[in-house]
Amino acid sequence: MKPVIVIGGGIVGISTAIWLQRSGQIVILIDRGNAEGRASYGNAGVLASSSVIPVTVPGIVHKIPKMLFDPKEPLFIKWSYLPQLAPWAIRYLARSKAGEVRRIAAALRAIIGDSLENHLALARDTAAEKRIIPCDFTFMYKDRSTFEKDGFGWSLKKDLGFEWDNLNEADRKAYDPIFAPDLTFATRLGNHGRINDPSAYVTDLTAHFTAGGGTVIVGDVEGFIRKNGRVTAVRVSGAPIEASAVAITAGAWSARLVKKLGFNIPLEAESGYHLEFLEPNKMPRSPSLIPSGKFIATPMEGRLRVAGMVEFGGLENQASKAPLDLLRENAIRAIPGLTWKEETQWMGHRPATIDSVPIIDRVPGAPNVFLGFGHQHVGLTGGPRTGQLLSQLISGQKPNIDMAPYASDRFT
């Protein structure tokens, strides 16, 4: 029996490998080995089930100039990359009409709406299970009027079945007093979760996979061997490895691999940042998004992680100082008096499709090659469900949701 090869060892890849293993498949997981460089390492750590509203909401096009030229805005671009980015960006921003946003939100709801339950099912009876912490997810606004400016997104969330409590100034301070007094209004969503150490979480899941007989190979995928349209082997660091099927779950690097099969996918690498404050003197009660600073503050094991910022510079982009400085400045403003013993910094690449919806499908013309990537800001949140769906597709089972929104050829 030839194995199924899963390419990419982040949360989507390891989820796919585990679900395939549980279905009785022999599985080989191939990973580049740079764990700290991938989004599964550096994400905000939130199981953000309600994060179904894309960046491209109505009106975003008119805000872009200010966001690009105001150093206090959380959007950055490497200007030398603009000619390469422009064709993708034009198609991306075209998805900001209200009807398109509703379609995107509904598609994301089916993948991430039950994230906490999906993670618990994936990690059950593994060492990773203890790292899943059920919790609230809060949005800390300046005032009610600022919240109401986001009314379009909140109304969509309501239509999709999400519920929340509104906290006035007194209730907000009682719920979590560490935030700045000028953040006088909050929304609190229940039935969310957080991972107290995303890197260790993926490591624990990988250890469970190998303990169950799975194989992990560290190396670079150089190409594919095909016969009659099907991929029969994957070339890894010069050696072919036979395969019955292949799943490409390599995040922002996935489009390069798919291109080796003669199929182009408009995927952009969106750089995101985080800072970690080790042994902070203050810790939020639950993951909290600060809309004014476009970042999330998440309590983790022995440290506070603040994650956010958007920078476009391609897969070869190197970390910039300005996004990190702004992230730190915004965190200190939102949490007055915050101190810490040590700071660590991270930048990594999020895989962004032009409609903010992941691709979960097979490659046209290569019927035994399957794709699972393009989650943009919700890769951790949607990883287990994506892996389960890919496992079902590979095993010949019919998923219980409409897979059309995640089709690989929807952009062509």
Strand partners, 366: 363
- What mean pLDDT, rounded, does the chain reach? 96
Mean pLDDT on 54-73: 91
* pTM, entire model: 0.96
Choose among 101, 104, 74, 52: nearest CA to 291.
Answer: 74
| pLDDT (0 to 100) of residue 40 | 84
Q: Is the pLDDT assigned to residue 173 strictly greater than 80?
A: yes
What's the pLDDT tens digit per position in 187-222? 999 999 999 999 999 999 999 999 999 999 999 999
Contacting residues for 396 by C-beta, under 8 A, at least 6 apart: none
| pLDDT (0 to 100) of residue 315 | 95
Mean pLDDT on 162-175: 98
SS3 243: coil
| pLDDT (0 to 100) of residue 1 | 85
| pLDDT (0 to 100) of residue 80 | 96
Q: Is the pLDDT assigned to residue 251 strictly greater than 80?
A: yes
Is 4-406 CATH 3.50.50.60?
A: yes
| pLDDT (0 to 100) of residue 194 | 98
CA gap 406, 101 in Å, rounded: 15
Task: Output the six-digit token pair for 96.
Answer: 């900001």
Task: Output the six-digit token pair for 361.
Answer: 């499908």
Share of the chain above pLDDT 70, in %: 100
What's the pLDDT tens digit per position in 297-343? 999 999 999 999 999 999 999 999 999 999 999 999 999 999 999 99
Share of the chain above pLDDT 90, in %: 94
Choose among 245, 346, 336, 203: nearest CA to 26.
Answer: 245
Q: Is the pLDDT assigned to residue 34 strictly greater than 90?
A: no
| pLDDT (0 to 100) of residue 69 | 87
Axis-axis angle for helices 11-22, 115-123 (nearest 10) = 60
